[in-house]
Structure 1
Amino acid sequence: MSLLHLPHHDGSPIYLDDEAPRLGTSVRVRVRTHPAHPVDAVWLRTTFDAEPVYHQMHPTDGGWWEGSLPVHNPVTHYRFLLVRGEDQEWLTGRGLVQHDVPDAGDFKVCAFDPAPDWGRDGVVYQVFPDRFARSAAADEREVPAWAVPAEWDDEVAFEPHDPRTPLQFYGGDLDGVVEHLDHVGDVGADILYTTPVFPGESNHRYNATTFSEVDPLLGGDEAYARLSSAVHARGWRILGDLTTNHTGDTHEWFRAAQADPTDPHRTFYYFDEAGGYACWMGHGTLPKVNHADPDLRAAMVEGPDSVVGRWLRPPYDVDGWRIDVANMTGRLGAIDVNHEVARAARRTAAELREDPLVIAEHNHDATGDVDGDGWHGSMNYSGFSWPVWSWLRDPASPARPFGRPAAVPRRSGERVVATFQDWLGSLGWRATSSSWNILGSHDSARIRTLVGGDAAVHRVAAGLQFLLPGVPMVFAGDEIGLEGVLGEDSRRPMPWHAPERWDRETLAAYGALAGLRRSRAAFLRGGLRWAHVDDDTIAWLREHPEGTVLVVARRAGGEAFTLPLARGTHLFGTEPGGADLEPGDGGDGGVVVPSSPGARLDVWSVAEQSQ
């Protein structure tokens, strides 16, 4: 099914001339229509202090309509009313609809500063320190009393209720990460994100005992400074991981508060009269902190001496934070100060660094949390991971989704594109472009297991990750084909000592995709226009004033199809082969996208036919 005849608008430069306008100004907006489906009039509808207001748009050559959008509110919503005779349609961020719909899916323009360019244009590489690499110094450290020691090739304990799961200790450290930065470069990444480095009586360290030092088991403060220096020496960036929602029950704040009801840290937590306390999802080892308390806020997120601030300063020079459980931070029952926490974290970071990034872990719906001066973006599980999983999942895969009581459904291309459209409309163009495209993480199954071990389908998934709007985040090991049926199992150690286990073809594809993404403004700042979709094929255009590219992703073999494009030059393919696009037979003015015998992804530089 071809989609290029549909009216289109998005937040990219061809359609919106300023993504971060100042209050009181106006921006030019454009809508593309197709000559074969002409419209009689187009009206821009926005809201002025929540009151709908209409502005007439004017036709230009080639089916384009132009208008001016007043930026009256910090986050301005807008949509388009298309009139064809007696018929009317809305063009919203979620696509074209023939009936009245709520404003939740409208386009958005935001007057607050966007995420920094490096955070939007880069490629993120996630490291789980205990399982990534051991330096020689790791052999000299004493295993802590809480730990269950493991050899690097030991099987990971991951079954539910296995007491070893959080305690199994492989002993990876930060100097081990430094020693393998060349590999990170081979993947094409330039942003290193590590899960927490603060001490915690677990291998994941999300149950911090303090935020004032780096775990000695990782090499301590000096090792973190060495890692930061090594990353910055390459011109890259480094992100920390901070649990703003909770601490560990062995944290110095919590121990002081629990031991003495009059201790000043008591208000940092939600204690009841009987001494009980709120915690994350019923886990008593993870007491929830109280961001409604100004003293906790000052200690955690406000000012240069807060936890957020301290690690952004020398010698650590962290460039920003990934905020753990950001969706629940500052929220408990009737209390909701989440946006205030996000605003404070961004403000603190901006006071200490010229261009910091603050990204939220949010595995549900981040709508509203990423608007305005909230989090710069989110780990976009709902808007990217789950639709990709549902399109590419092998029905026989044992991969387990988290958060759902049923297996990942396998859906058609049409339903997956509809899912992408819904989430893009809900989150907005700018937040989506700044959020992370994730195929898997330390909390989920591995993509290789999800696709049933099929390397070709895995590479198609990587193509979606790198070439759709958003920032690719690669969990260490995905690039060489590591597997895992759920989060804990996906934390298998990197097999540095066994290169024969590596999928070198997939590693090369990751590096090539990263290079392709950086080489074209269309992938870094271009729009998204769906071109063709059927059960097994999804094709889209990334449009930019500097050029347009066509991406065709197939999860299985498929027939050729025609698109109304001029010739196209082949740029990239995940599988061998790939030819330039040529005009089709019969003088229909389009090009034929060739058939494929199996899963593959191809990219062409194209020009649209004149309209």
Structure 2
Amino acid sequence: MTHASHLLDLPHHDGSALHVPEGTPAVGDTVPVRLRVPQASGVRDVWLRSVRDGEPRLTPARHDGGTAGEDYYVADVVVHNPVTPYRFLLDAPGGYRWLDGRGVHDRDVPDAGSFRLTTHAPAPAWLADGPVYQIFPDRFARSGEASSRPVPDWAVPAAWDDEPAGDGVLAGTQLYGGDLDGIVAHLDHLADLGVGTVYLTPVFPGRSNHRYDASTFDRVDPLLGGDAAYARLARAVHARGMRLMGDITTNHTGEGHEWFARALADPSAPEHEMYVWAPPGGPDVATAPDGTGYAAWLGFGSLPKLDWSAPETWRRMVTGDGAPITRYLREPFGLDGWRVDVANMTGRWGSADRAHAVARELRAAVVGARPDGALVAEHFHDATADLQGDGWHANMNYTGFTRPAWSWLAVDGSPAGAHGLPVGAVRRPGHAMVATMREFDSAVPWTVTARQWNLLGSHDTPRLRTVVGSAEAAEVAATLLFTYPGTPVVFAGDEVGATGDNGEHARTTMAWDQGARGGGPRWDTATLDVYRRLSAVRRGSSALRGGGMRWAVVADDAVVFLRESTTERVLVVLARGPWEGAVLPHHLLAPGASPERLYGGLGLRVTTDGIVVPGDGPGVAVHRLA
């Protein structure tokens, strides 16, 4: 029988503790970095290529022992710049090769894929303690007080089991009445999932159910229970050892915001300088009733754009007394950090680009108010230039994780799988998924990759189950989520098999009544068990929480990778369907050990040829090898 070839004869390096000493270096430090060279690779000699002040330098690497299957080489990186790129030059039969974050190349490559050392501190360690659980407050749970609150004039009341509108005005005005005390009442569900961080989309008043059109940052929406309910939620979350992160819009406010109202009414008001004004008719420009033109998010007049060149914007948002960025990090709320909406557009307009300055200053403010605070960006596209370690701690990793995972597992032709594109989904082979993941991961420091918010869907996307079409494919996706480097993010409802064709339609309510009865059409108990078990496996594994990443097999219908820490090696097998199977080297196993199944139905066999990975599928396997 012919098996798929493996990649474990190729040299390997990543930014984990097996290869780079733990800790954040300072400018002037010398950092020894380790390269692992399988003896089957034929590599004869190794040099380190680092870049200092824009000029590449080559340094011989020194042999530093090894194992039965591979040799180790160590070379010193001089940290002369805040971000120092490096890669390895390999002398091998057939000519020299380069090793960078994208892999081994028998050609010259640009620096974009180089490994990076950064002097900037990483995201706080707690961000990786457990999965992040995203809640859209209007759709999670209603407390007993919810029905007594008056319905605002913009809202259309909906029954809890009504299907969410997927488009039109109703998509933003349907009000189901979920509130903050409703979340408190269901924290047991989160605890059972092993959740480490609770992330809520905005809680400030607005004129929509999503509340990204804030009318003030000074108080929590009374529809959610107000400030007192937010404080109760924070106490309840923290009492369980979880963290709580908020969501704030730094790119824009709502057109009903008190600041914008004053800015329109009086051009001499201090608020006037806080917004970007532009001639009507231009791209992304809206027009006020009096004919005034102003920049707006994608041209939507309900979301006027803030001007970060204005000192008043900095004062109101960040530095002043009561500024929301720091106020909600303090008691009685004590948020542990922020997810920043539309971070990619914040501070960017025309020839002005203050995005990096905004990110750095927001980070300084968050860490100043809360030393272990986290700052995570929303950036739907290529965020790599904004993630070099000095600004956002991490990003919602749509391009480096969500899209490639969908592309491999999506139902062919499903419009849901090509979210944001005017074409249907294409079911791509495994090598396309892996190439995309490696390309995006390689463009940022490992310390960022290790804390990226990886997700299979959010309040802005179709639901995973709709994208992949089956519970079996959803299990493959969830296994990838919980075993890949970074922080797994679960959008409330995915763990019980929620469906939805687009971001608005996917904002379904939680069917708590069906859960209490042991399941139902909107509460898949088998999928819930998958998420619980995978979360527990990740929690119990140092390799899965913080180890390195080494691709072992990449086939059309299956991928296999290793996660390795200084104390553990875990093998992950993901198959979307039947495939050739593979045989991996014996030396992956600890002497005298056998593979220990941690999760999944695919078993491994150890023969005289090696570790045999079966070609069954769809299915998954997570095994501890050492």
SS of structure 1 residue aligned to 2:474: helix
Partner of 2:416 in structure 1? 399
1:572 to 586, 598, 608: 598
2:182 to 176, 180, 194: 176
Q: Confirm or deny: 8 A CA contact 1:11 1:19 kept in the other structure.
A: no
Partner of 1:123 in structure 2? 131
Q: Residue type of the partner of 2:379?
A: H
2:486 to 470, 476, 491: 470
SS of structure 2 residue aligned to 1:345: helix
Partner of 1:552 in structure 2? 573
Partner of 2:277 in structure 1? 271
Q: Confirm or deny: 8 A CA contact 1:18 1:27 kept in the other structure.
A: no
Partner of 1:237 in structure 2? 243
SS of structure 1 residue aligned to 2:400: helix
Once residues 137 and 159 of structure 2 are traced to their aligned partners in structure 1, the CA distance between those partners, rounded to angstroms, is: 15
Q: Confirm or deny: 8 A CA contact 2:572 2:622 kept in the other structure.
A: yes
Partner of 1:346 in structure 2? 363
Shift of 1:569: 2.4
Q: Confirm or deny: 8 A CA contact 1:188 1:510 kept in the other structure.
A: no
Shift of 1:304: 6.2
Distance change (3 Å), C-alpha of 1:295 and 1:32 = same
Q: Confirm or deny: 8 A CA contact 1:169 1:203 kept in the other structure.
A: yes
Partner of 1:191 in structure 2? 197
Q: Confirm or deny: 8 A CA contact 2:340 2:375 kept in the other structure.
A: yes
1:29 to 28, 33, 43: 33
Q: Confirm or deny: 8 A CA contact 1:32 1:64 kept in the other structure.
A: yes
Shift of 1:591: 1.2
The 5 Å alignment of 1:461-500 reads 461-499=477-515, 500=520
The 5 Å alignment of 1:350-429 reads 350-395=367-412, 397-399=414-416, 401-429=418-446
TM-score (norm 1): 0.95
The 5 Å alignment of 1:207-606 reads 207-272=213-278, 275-302=292-319, 305-395=322-412, 397-399=414-416, 401-452=418-469, 454-499=470-515, 500-501=520-521, 502-565=523-586, 566=589, 568-574=594-600, 577-579=601-603, 581-584=604-607, 587-588=608-609, 590-596=610-616, 598-606=617-625
- Spell out, residue by residue over 1:186-218, the C-alpha distance to the aligned partner (whole angstroms, 9 max, x if none): 222120000000000000000000000000000
- Spell out, residue by residue over 1:339-368, the C-alpha distance to the aligned partner (whole angstroms, 9 max, x if none): 111111111111111200000001111112
Once residues 219 and 264 of structure 2 are traced to their aligned partners in structure 1, the CA distance between those partners, rounded to angstroms, is: 22
Shift of 1:86: 6.1
Q: Confirm or deny: 8 A CA contact 2:15 2:447 kept in the other structure.
A: yes
Distance change (3 Å), C-alpha of 1:304 and 1:545 = farther
Partner of 2:284 in structure 1? none
- 76-85 or 472-481, which deviates more: 76-85
Where in structure 2 are there 5+ consecutive unaligned residues?
280-290
Q: Confirm or deny: 8 A CA contact 1:304 1:348 kept in the other structure.
A: no
Shift of 1:578: 4.6
Q: Residue type of the partner of 1:517?
A: R
Q: Residue type of the partner of 2:559?
A: I
SS of structure 2 residue aligned to 1:73: coil
Once residues 132 and 115 of structure 1 are traced to their aligned partners in structure 2, the CA distance between those partners, rounded to angstroms, is: 28
**2:114 maps to 1:106:** yes
Q: Residue type of the partner of 1:413?
A: G
Shift of 1:185: 1.4
Q: Residue type of the partner of 2:26?
A: R
% identity of equivalent residues = 49
- Spell out, residue by residue over 1:468-509, the C-alpha distance to the aligned partner (whole angstroms, 9 max, x if none): 001000000000000001100100111112232311111111
Shift of 1:112: 1.1
Partner of 1:164 in structure 2? 170
Once residues 441 and 79 of structure 2 are traced to their aligned partners in structure 1, the CA distance between those partners, rounded to angstroms, is: 21
Shift of 1:397: 3.5
Q: Residue type of the partner of 2:582?
A: F
Shift of 1:559: 3.8
Once residues 76 and 454 of structure 2 are traced to their aligned partners in structure 1, the CA distance between those partners, rounded to angstroms, is: 32
**2:90 maps to 1:90:** no
Q: Confirm or deny: 8 A CA contact 1:93 1:428 kept in the other structure.
A: no
Shift of 1:169: 0.7
Shift of 1:19: 4.7
TM-score (norm 2): 0.93
Q: Residue type of the partner of 1:569?
A: P
SS of structure 2 residue aligned to 1:301: helix
Q: Confirm or deny: 8 A CA contact 2:42 2:93 kept in the other structure.
A: no
Once residues 54 and 96 of structure 2 are traced to their aligned partners in structure 1, the CA distance between those partners, rounded to angstroms, is: 22
Once residues 468 and 165 of structure 1 are traced to their aligned partners in structure 2, the CA distance between those partners, rounded to angstroms, is: 33
- 276-285 or 147-156, which deviates more: 147-156
- Spell out, residue by residue over 1:279-317, the C-alpha distance to the aligned partner (whole angstroms, 9 max, x if none): 000101000000111210121123663210010010000
Shift of 1:446: 0.4
Where in structure 1 are there 5+ consecutive unaligned residues?
none
Q: Confirm or deny: 8 A CA contact 2:132 2:488 kept in the other structure.
A: yes
- 58-67 or 258-267, which deviates more: 58-67
Q: Confirm or deny: 8 A CA contact 1:132 1:476 kept in the other structure.
A: yes
Partner of 1:205 in structure 2? 211
Once residues 180 and 225 of structure 2 are traced to their aligned partners in structure 1, the CA distance between those partners, rounded to angstroms, is: 6
Q: Confirm or deny: 8 A CA contact 1:570 1:602 kept in the other structure.
A: no
The 5 Å alignment of 1:44-59 reads 44-59=48-63
**2:30 maps to 1:17:** no
- Spell out, residue by residue over 1:36-93, the C-alpha distance to the aligned partner (whole angstroms, 9 max, x if none): 1221221111111111111110123332111111111111111111112561111111
Q: Confirm or deny: 8 A CA contact 1:343 1:373 kept in the other structure.
A: yes
Distance change (3 Å), C-alpha of 1:250 and 1:600 = same
- Spell out, residue by residue over 1:214-265, the C-alpha distance to the aligned partner (whole angstroms, 9 max, x if none): 0000000000000000000001100000000000000000000001111110
Shift of 1:180: 0.6
Once residues 473 and 419 of structure 2 are traced to their aligned partners in structure 1, the CA distance between those partners, rounded to angstroms, is: 22
Q: Residue type of the partner of 2:606?
A: P
Q: Residue type of the partner of 1:67?
A: A
- 260-269 or 425-434, which deviates more: 425-434
Q: Confirm or deny: 8 A CA contact 2:564 2:570 kept in the other structure.
A: yes
Once residues 521 and 400 of structure 1 are traced to their aligned partners in structure 2, the CA distance between those partners, rounded to angstroms, is: 32
Distance change (3 Å), C-alpha of 1:447 and 1:116 = same
SS of structure 2 residue aligned to 1:165: helix
Shift of 1:396: 5.1
Q: Confirm or deny: 8 A CA contact 2:413 2:426 kept in the other structure.
A: no
Q: Residue type of the partner of 1:594?
A: P
Q: Confirm or deny: 8 A CA contact 2:129 2:196 kept in the other structure.
A: no
